[in-house]
């Protein structure tokens, strides 16, 4: 019985990783950059909800909308100021470092505005938990909402990329920026759109992360951000269903290794499994195999 | 033309060595005349640590062309083995210089071996996948060190991965590595002079490697893997060579780091991925593949947060803005274009060339 | 071209520094480890003057007290509390005319909770002319800084650095808080002697010096007590959002009490998650748990019945605590936690020691230290975190721990 409840705990943790990883993988897939600031956009999203709902007393729905709008604008601004000037730079590492700079920046702005004290986040989810087997197995409302959101977002994104013109433009940009431009695609606008969607997803992920684990500090986003990055790589970075699978698998491994091997070494075990998977399948579970041409 | 080129690289190297030695002499004179603040004196050894780290990572990132996010892990291995050795031998070898040199050798070898073992499987991966795997290894190393307990009593060493109680030490036994509490009371053997010597040693190793036949083979792998494979270069061998040397040098930096502070703990701050990324920032800001650039940017970025202390709580905010601004300034194609257009020096040089 | 790039970046940095660094270059700190540029300005001087306006006495006529803690980074909450707590005490003392008529100048430096940065902060304060140190805030950093201060024979009193390694072999260092072993043993004895529970589970942070220190001693002492430890699970700094496994194990083992030698940030998550899984044991913590009721927006009903051994509670009824809390809230807009109270006490302890020893600001750092060391053994101080606190020669504090229980959303003393 305890195994099943561990499994369910793993899925709830994994679903949070998955929803963050979706935003990560989306931006990586199109813009081909590791956006280390993604975790901090998550934090901004959560703080916006916290500020609107808990401090200003707005209704939850208004807080959610405000947070999504603000994060979308933030994503576009970050891309415009910090990443766009480096497009076409000699090394792709340059933009990675700027992303880290942006991450520090967001953390410190939040620290100055909201202070370092931990805030308890009021869950945006009102669905009650499901209790099975005489209360021995509990599936929380947050988990249900997170998993449903993950699936909805995954389907939505897949449809968007495959069925709409803007989505096709994204695919084209991810394949070859130069050729896409020749075909009359506005590359800058397309990448802005990618960041806008990625950051909106980050806002949603932030709310769900903080609803499931209701502690909010300026550094809330950084560790889940890294874990989600690992999840995205696990599932095959750039692959949208891969992010979902990677996130959930990661969550389950983490919980099970804590439960059955060692609670101190859970991280080491998670990373070890990641390494083994990558050695067997070098582009992740659902990653595309890239053939290099001579 | 060919001769000119050789001279240029020699000149370039000499400039790098000269810069380090000059900096050392200036500092020594300033210290001698009592013109250096305690902050600056305290920063001298850490500066050496970061310079060595930046140069060694540049070997992996700039010369081998692989992104590694686990450099702090190798530093951690070096730091703990070195400090462990010094702590055990504190009473046996009382001549501190000899003990320190031995600690450095041990730290370097240990980090090099770990680098080799990790490199063997993972160097088959490319790009961001390699980056995440190195990050993972860095975190694994930190995690293991955090649960590692080693104690010593009359029966020898005891190991545990649980807690210090399960070591089963007898009366009078001492715990040397105490899990998260790390190693306390490492002798403070690191000095600025020693640090500079280690920097120069690092530079000799790295610069000679770059300009050797092996170095050219390594760079050919970076520039085109398939082409270099087709001319018979042993990819695995050269990749491993660069990677383990880089790891060993990071180990040296770790030993220096450990012997500068009396308490050594593996926290996310000093041996986690944050530190690995910080070292990467030094390398990228200084110019990928540019050794001298790494040295300068390591120094600037280590000093910067200390210089900004006057801003109290706004310090790290300003630091992040400066970091972004410097990256844009150094790397953005637009800025590079602007700089080239309006740079005085270039105009002067152009005029000279015309003449 | 490459070289030019470097020169430009150096110039850029130099320009930035010139722009931001209040232009208070006194030439004493001019350096540059590269060939040129990056001139160091003694930044400490600038901030000191701003931070404490009342203390504008002539040089050598003020006591210069420095403090160190993380004011950025994930441990910032503790550092900022120490910064403000000490600041409040110093302002009060200055307004009342100072110590023996001498005002205090105060300077706080950030260490980001990193050993190396902490030593940098210490050196910055030394350049500023610090005579006594209130710090550092966290145990790990404190061990590193204590080695430096012992070398300089600088008097140091740490509000919250609780590891024994801080005071071992460093006779210039004193603590305001209990040492970790003291807390671990104290907690085990309290649980055993008062028969609070028979089956005890522990959840601790294995990557934290404070937490693993208490855990170790708790387990050792538990062997002598009547209760049994049924599960002991750890978490790490990188893995502190999900506690479902640790709680599940405690629940499966039938624990009646969960001992939490951790900080309140994680504890608030543990309480929420335990509630979500219908697990309601008694929770028992140490001083790190204080502050849990002040987590903004936290449902304090979850903390109902939590017991903790802590020297300070912001809701205590006595007059000293209440006036401290209201002054703190008025000045900084936050309810003080135990760190703020420790720092506040540390400053008053310094004051008592200075008054006792008759130390003067003109004494050298080392003389001052010797005088204060002599006085520390003789004074007893009534502070917020303990009545009649006194110190042994080794630097550890003697005071009575208070056992608190959270009842109706307030701390109440268990007699």
CA distance C104 to chain A (A): 27
Please indicate whether, in this complex, the C-beta atoms of A94 and B327 are within 8 angstroms of each other.
Answer: yes
pLDDT greater at residue C400 or residue C45: C400
Please indicate whether, in this complex, the C-beta atoms of B300 and C112 are within 8 angstroms of each other.
Answer: no
Among candidate residues A28, A178, C133, C8, the one with its CA nearest the CA of residue B345: C8
Q: Are B50 and B279 in contact (CB under 8 A)?
A: yes
Q: Are B50 and B276 in contact (CB under 8 A)?
A: no
Rounded CA gap, C254 and A31, in Å?
Answer: 51
Task: Place A289 in a pLDDT band, splitting at 50, 70 and 90.
Answer: low
In the prediction, which pLDDT does B346 show?
64
Please indicate, yes or no, whether residues C166 and C68 belong to a single structural domain of this protein.
yes
Contacting partners of chain C (3+ CB pairs under 8 A): A, B
In the prediction, which pLDDT does B172 show?
73
Task: Place B260 in a pLDDT band, splitting at 50, 70 and 90.
Answer: very high
Checking if the pLDDT of C68 tops 90, the result is yes
Contacting partners of chain B (3+ CB pairs under 8 A): A, C
Q: Could you give the count of Cα atoms lying within 13 Å of C270 in the half-sphere of its Cβ?
A: 34
The token pair that represents C122 in the structure block? 């210490």
Q: Is the torsion defined by CA of B249, B250, B251, B257 positive or negative?
A: positive
Please indicate, yes or no, whether residues C192 and C295 belong to a single structural domain of this protein.
yes
Domain ranges of chain A: 2-280
Contacting partners of chain A (3+ CB pairs under 8 A): B, C
Checking if the pLDDT of C53 tops 50, the result is no
Rounded CA gap, B272 and B69, in Å?
Answer: 10
Task: Place C2 in a pLDDT band, splitting at 50, 70 and 90.
Answer: very low
Checking if the pLDDT of C16 tops 50, the result is no
Interface of C with A (CB under 8 A): 71-74, 76-77, 79-80, 206, 233-236, 238-239, 241-242, 244-246, 248-249, 252, 264-266, 268-269, 272, 276-278, 294-299, 334
DSSP string across A64-77:
HHHHHHHHHHHHHH
Q: What is the mean pLDDT of residues B258-265?
A: 89
Rounded CA gap, A89 and B336, in Å?
Answer: 10
Residue C36 lies in a domain: no
Which of chain C's residues have a Cβ under 8 Å away from the Cβ of A116?
71, 76-77, 79-80
Please indicate whether, in this complex, the C-beta atoms of B285 and A97 are within 8 angstroms of each other.
Answer: yes
Rounded CA gap, C39 and C55, in Å?
Answer: 29
Rounded CA gap, A163 and A172, in Å?
Answer: 13
ipTM: 0.89
pLDDT digits (tens, 9 = 90+) for A138-192: 888 888 999 999 999 999 999 999 999 999 999 899 888 889 999 999 999 999 9
Which of chain C's residues have a Cβ under 8 Å away from the Cβ of B165?
216, 219-220
pLDDT digits (tens, 9 = 90+) for C332-360: 888 888 899 999 999 999 999 999 888 88
Last residue of a domain, one of C264, C285, C310: C310
In the prediction, which pLDDT does B255 show?
95
Compare CB distances from B332 to A85, A230, A283 and report the shortest one's residue: A85
Q: What is the mean pLDDT of residues B94-116?
A: 93
Which of chain C's residues have a Cβ under 8 Å away from the Cβ of B176?
none
Give residue B150's Cα distance to chain centre.
26
Checking if the pLDDT of A262 tops 90, the result is no
Residue C8 lies in a domain: no
Residue C70 belongs to domain spanning: 63-178+316-400
Which of chain B's residues have a Cβ under 8 Å away from the Cβ of C43?
306-311
Among candidate residues C332, C9, A175, the one with its CA nearest the CA of residue B331: C9
Compare CB distances from C77 to A50, A117, A263 and report the shortest one's residue: A117
Among candidate residues C273, C382, B220, B340, the one with its CA nearest the CA of residue A123: C273
Which residue of C78, C208, C241, C243 to mutate against A (max A Cβ within 10 Å)?
A: C241
CA distance A127 to chain B (A): 36
Compare CB distances from A267 to C238, C278, C297 and report the shortest one's residue: C238
pLDDT digits (tens, 9 = 90+) for C380-399: 998 888 888 889 888 888 88
Q: For chain C, give the percent of residues with pLDDT over 90.
A: 30
Which of chain A's residues have a Cβ under 8 Å away from the Cβ of B124?
279, 282
The token pair that represents B217 in the structure block? 């083979």
Please indicate, yes or no, whether residues C271 and C348 belong to a single structural domain of this protein.
no
Give residue C239's Cα distance to chain centre.
23
Compare CB distances from A138 to C241, C277, C298 and report the shortest one's residue: C277
Task: Place B215 in a pLDDT band, splitting at 50, 70 and 90.
Answer: very high
Q: By CA distance, what is B300's nearest residue in C?
A: C38
In DSSP terms, C68 is beta-bridged to C109
DSSP string across C310-355:
ES--TT--SHHHHHHHHHHHHHHSS---HHHHHHHHHHHHHHHHHH
CATH class of the domain comprising A2-280 = mainly alpha
Please indicate, yes or no, whether residues C74 and C148 belong to a single structural domain of this protein.
yes
Checking if the pLDDT of A217 tops 70, the result is yes
For chain C, what is the domain count? 2
In this structure, what DSSP letter does residue B176 have?
A: E
In the prediction, which pLDDT does B6 show?
58
Helix axes A266-280, B96-122, angle to 10 degrees: 50
Rounded CA gap, A55 and C348, in Å?
Answer: 36
In the prediction, which pLDDT does C159 show?
92
| A2 burial type by CB count under 10 A (0-12 exposed, 13-18 middle, 19+ buried) | middle
The token pair that represents C109 in the structure block? 């430096």
Which of chain A's residues have a Cβ under 8 Å away from the Cβ of B129?
233, 278, 282-284
Q: What is the mean pLDDT of residues C46-55?
A: 40
Which residue of C5, C71, C239, C254 to mutate against A (max A Cβ within 10 Å)?
A: C239
Which of chain B's residues have a Cβ under 8 Å away from the Cβ of A276?
none
CA distance B276 to chain A (A): 12
Task: Place B11 in a pLDDT band, splitting at 50, 70 and 90.
Answer: confident
The beta-strand segments (E) located in C70-124 are 104-110
Compare CB distances from B263 to C110, C113, C115 and report the shortest one's residue: C115
Please indicate, yes or no, whether residues C391 and C334 belong to a single structural domain of this protein.
yes
Q: Which residue has the tokens 């500023």?
A: C128
- Across the A:C interface, residue pairs with CB atoms under 8 Å apart total 104
All residues at 6 or more sequence positions from B320 whose CB lies less than 8 Å from its CB, including other chains: A101, A102, A104, A105, A108
In the prediction, which pLDDT does C146 show?
92
In the prediction, which pLDDT does B345 show?
66
Last residue of a domain, one of C257, C276, C310: C310
H helical segments located in chain B:
2-32, 38-58, 71-89, 96-122, 127-146, 192-210, 213-223, 225-230, 235-258, 268-271, 273-286, 291-307, 315-331, 333-342, 344-354
Which of chain A's residues have a Cβ under 8 Å away from the Cβ of B288?
90-91, 93
Q: Can the peptide bond before residue B24 be classed as cis, meaning omega within 30 degrees of 0? A: no
Please indicate, yes or no, whether residues C261 and C204 belong to a single structural domain of this protein.
yes
The token pair that represents C265 in the structure block? 């940030």
- Across the A:B interface, residue pairs with CB atoms under 8 Å apart total 130
Compare CB distances from C126 to B19, B38, B300 and report the shortest one's residue: B38
Compare CB distances from A215 to C71, C79, C265 and report the shortest one's residue: C265
Please indicate, yes or no, whether residues C76 and C170 belong to a single structural domain of this protein.
yes
Which of chain C's residues have a Cβ under 8 Å away from the Cβ of B189?
none
Residue C259 lies in a domain: yes
Tell me what the pLDDT averaged over chain A comes to: 89
CB of A91 within 8 Å of any CB in chain C?
no
> Buried (b) or exposed (e) across C7-25, using 16+ Cβ within 10 A?
ebbbebbbebbeebbeeeb
CA distance C155 to chain B (A): 17
pLDDT digits (tens, 9 = 90+) for C226-238: 899 999 998 888 8
* Structural element, H or E, at residue C35: none
Which of chain B's residues have a Cβ under 8 Å away from the Cβ of A109?
317
In the prediction, which pLDDT does B344 show?
65
- Which is it for strands A119-120 and C381-383: parallel, antiparallel or unpaired? unpaired
Domain ranges of chain B: 2-354
Give residue B278's Cα distance to chain centre.
10
Task: Say what the pTM is.
Answer: 0.87
Q: Are B259 and B187 in contact (CB under 8 A)?
A: yes
Checking if the pLDDT of A110 tops 70, the result is yes
Please indicate, yes or no, whether residues C279 and C382 belong to a single structural domain of this protein.
no
- Across the B:C interface, residue pairs with CB atoms under 8 Å apart total 221
Q: For chain B, give the percent of residues with pLDDT over 90.
A: 48
In DSSP terms, C99 is beta-bridged to C102
In the prediction, which pLDDT does A291 show?
57
Please indicate whether, in this complex, the C-beta atoms of B139 and C238 are within 8 angstroms of each other.
Answer: yes
Residue C5 lies in a domain: no
Query: Which CATH number do you get for residue C295?
Result: 3.40.50.2300
The token pair that represents C75 in the structure block? 């441990």
Rounded CA gap, A275 and A223, in Å?
Answer: 19
Please indicate, yes or no, whether residues C301 and C320 belong to a single structural domain of this protein.
no
Last residue of a domain, one of C265, C293, C310: C310
Q: Is the torsion defined by CA of B65, B71, B77, B83 positive or negative?
A: positive
Q: By CA distance, what is C124's nearest residue in B?
A: B39
Q: What is the mean pLDDT of residues A42-68?
A: 93
In the prediction, which pLDDT does A193 show?
94
Which residue of A120, A135, A213, A256 to mutate against C (max C Cβ within 10 Å)?
A: A120
pLDDT digits (tens, 9 = 90+) for B42-80: 999 999 999 999 999 999 999 998 989 899 999 999 999
């Amino acid at each position: 019985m305890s195994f099943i409840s561990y499994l369910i705990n793993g899925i709830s943790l994994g679903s949070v990783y998955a929803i963050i990883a979706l935003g990560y993988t989306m931006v990586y897939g199109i813009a081909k950059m590791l956006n280390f600031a993604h975790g901090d956009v998550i934090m901004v999203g959560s703080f916006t909800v916290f500020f609107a709902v808990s401090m200003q007393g707005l209704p939850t729905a208004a807080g959610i909308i405000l947070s999504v709008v603000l994060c979308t604008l933030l994503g576009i601004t970050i891309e415009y100021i910090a990443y766009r000037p480096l497009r076409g730079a000699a090394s792709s590492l340059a933009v990675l470092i700027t992303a880290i700079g942006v991450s520090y920046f967001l953390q410190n702005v939040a620290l100055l505005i909201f202070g370092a004290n931990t805030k308890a986040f009021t869950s945006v989810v009102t669905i009650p938990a499901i209790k099975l087997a005489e209360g021995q197995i509990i599936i929380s409302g947050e988990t249900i909402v997170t998993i449903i959101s993950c699936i909805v977002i995954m389907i939505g994104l897949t449809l968007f990329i495959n069925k709409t013109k803007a989505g096709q433009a994204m695919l084209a940009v991810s394949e070859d920026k130069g050729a896409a431009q020749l075909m009359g695609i506005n590359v800058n606008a397309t990448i802005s759109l990618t960041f806008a969607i990625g950051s909106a997803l980050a806002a949603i992920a932030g709310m769900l992360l903080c609803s499931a684990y209701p502690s909010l500090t300026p550094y809330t986003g950084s560790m889940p951000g890294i874990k989600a990055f690992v999840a995205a790589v696990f599932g095959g970075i750039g692959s949208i269903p891969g992010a979902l699978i990677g996130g959930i698998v990661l969550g389950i491994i983490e919980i099970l290794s804590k439960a059955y091997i060692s609670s101190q070494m859970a991280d080491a075990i998670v990373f070890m499994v990641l390494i083994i998977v990558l050695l067997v399948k070098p582009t992740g579970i659902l990653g595309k195999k890239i053939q290099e041409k001579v | 033309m060919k001769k000119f080129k050789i001279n240029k690289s020699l000149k370039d190297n000499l400039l790098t060595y000269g810069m380090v030695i000059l900096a050392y002499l200036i500092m020594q004179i300033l210290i001698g005349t009592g013109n250096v603040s305690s902050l600056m004196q305290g920063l001298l050894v850490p500066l050496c640590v970061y310079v060595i780290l930046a140069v060694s990572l540049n070997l992996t990132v700039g010369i081998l062309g692989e992104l590694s996010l686990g450099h702090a892990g190798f530093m951690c291995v070096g730091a703990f083995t070195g400090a462990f050795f010094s702590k055990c031998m504190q009473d046996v070898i009382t001549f501190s210089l000899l003990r320190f040199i031995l600690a450095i050798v041990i730290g370097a070898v240990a980090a090099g071996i770990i680098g080799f073992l990790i490199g063997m499987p993972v160097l088959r991966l490319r790009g961001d996948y390699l980056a995440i795997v190195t990050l993972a290894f860095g975190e694994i190393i930190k995690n293991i060190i955090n649960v590692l307990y080693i104690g010593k009593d009359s029966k020898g060493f005891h190991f545990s991965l649980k807690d210090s109680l399960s070591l089963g030490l007898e009366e009078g036994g001492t715990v040397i590595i105490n899990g998260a509490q790390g190693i306390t009371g490492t002798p403070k053997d690191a000095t600025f002079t020693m640090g500079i010597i280690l920097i120069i040693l690092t530079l000799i190793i790295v610069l000679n490697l770059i300009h050797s036949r092996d170095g050219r083979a390594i760079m050919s792998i970076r520039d085109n893997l398939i082409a270099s494979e087709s001319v018979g270069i042993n990819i695995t061998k050269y990749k491993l060579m660069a990677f383990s040397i880089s790891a060993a040098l990071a180990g040296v930096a770790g030993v220096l780091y450990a012997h500068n502070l009396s308490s050594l703990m593996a926290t996310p701050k000093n041996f986690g991925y944050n530190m690995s990324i910080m070292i990467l920032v030094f390398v990228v800001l200084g110019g990928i593949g540019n050794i001298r650039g790494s040295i300068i940017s390591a120094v600037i970025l280590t000093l910067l947060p200390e210089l900004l202390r006057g801003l109290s709580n706004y310090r790290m905010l300003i630091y992040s803005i400066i970091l972004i601004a410097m990256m844009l300034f150094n790397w953005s194609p637009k800025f590079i274009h602007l700089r080239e257009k309006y740079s005085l020096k270039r105009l002067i040089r152009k005029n000279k060339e015309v003449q | 071209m490459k070289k030019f790039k470097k020169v430009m970046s150096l110039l850029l940095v130099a320009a930035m520094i010139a722009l931001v660094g209040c232009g208070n270059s006194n030439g004493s700190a001019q350096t540059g480890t590269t060939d040129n540029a990056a001139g160091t300005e003694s930044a400490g001087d600038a901030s000191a003057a701003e931070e404490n306006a009342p203390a504008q006495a002539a040089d050598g006529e003020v006591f210069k007290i420095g403090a160190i803690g993380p004011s950025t980074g994930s441990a910032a909450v503790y550092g900022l509390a120490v910064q403000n707590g000490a600041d409040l005490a110093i302002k009060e003392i200055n307004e009342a005319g100072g110590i023996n008529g001498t005002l205090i100048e105060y300077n706080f430096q950030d260490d980001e909770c990193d050993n190396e940065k902490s030593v940098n902060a210490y050196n910055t304060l030394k350049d500023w002319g610090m005579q006594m140190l209130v710090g550092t805030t966290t145990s790990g950093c404190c061990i590193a800084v204590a080695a430096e201060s012992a070398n300089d024979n600088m008097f140091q009193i740490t509000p919250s650095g609780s590891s024994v390694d801080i005071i071992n072999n460093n006779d210039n260092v004193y603590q305001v808080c209990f040492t970790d072993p003291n807390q671990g043993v104290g907690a085990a004895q309290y649980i055993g002697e008062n028969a609070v529970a028979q089956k005890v589970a522990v959840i601790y942070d294995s990557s934290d010096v404070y937490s693993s220190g208490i855990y170790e001693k708790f387990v050792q002492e538990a062997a002598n007590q009547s209760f049994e430890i049924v599960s002991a699970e750890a978490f790490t700094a990188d893995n502190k959002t999900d506690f479902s496994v640790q709680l599940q194990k405690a629940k499966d083992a039938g624990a009646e009490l969960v001992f939490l030698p951790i900080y309140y940030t994680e504890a608030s998550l543990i309480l929420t998650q335990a509630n979500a899984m219908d697990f309601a044991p008694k929770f028992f913590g140490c001083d790190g748990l204080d502050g849990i009721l002040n987590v903004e927006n936290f449902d304090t009903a979850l903390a109902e019945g939590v017991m903790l051994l802590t020297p300070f509670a912001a809701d205590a009824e006595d007059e000293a605590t209440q006036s401290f809390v209201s002054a703190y809230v008025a000045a900084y807009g936050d309810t003080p936690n135990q760190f703020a109270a420790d720092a506040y006490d540390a400053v008053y302890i310094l004051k008592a020691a200075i008054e006792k020893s008759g130390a003067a600001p003109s004494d050298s750092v080392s003389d001052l230290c010797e005088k204060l060391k002599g006085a520390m053994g003789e004074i007893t101080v009534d502070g917020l975190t303990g009545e009649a606190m006194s110190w042994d020669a080794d630097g550890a504090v003697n005071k009575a721990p208070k056992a608190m229980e959270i009842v109706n959303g307030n701390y109440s003393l268990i007699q």
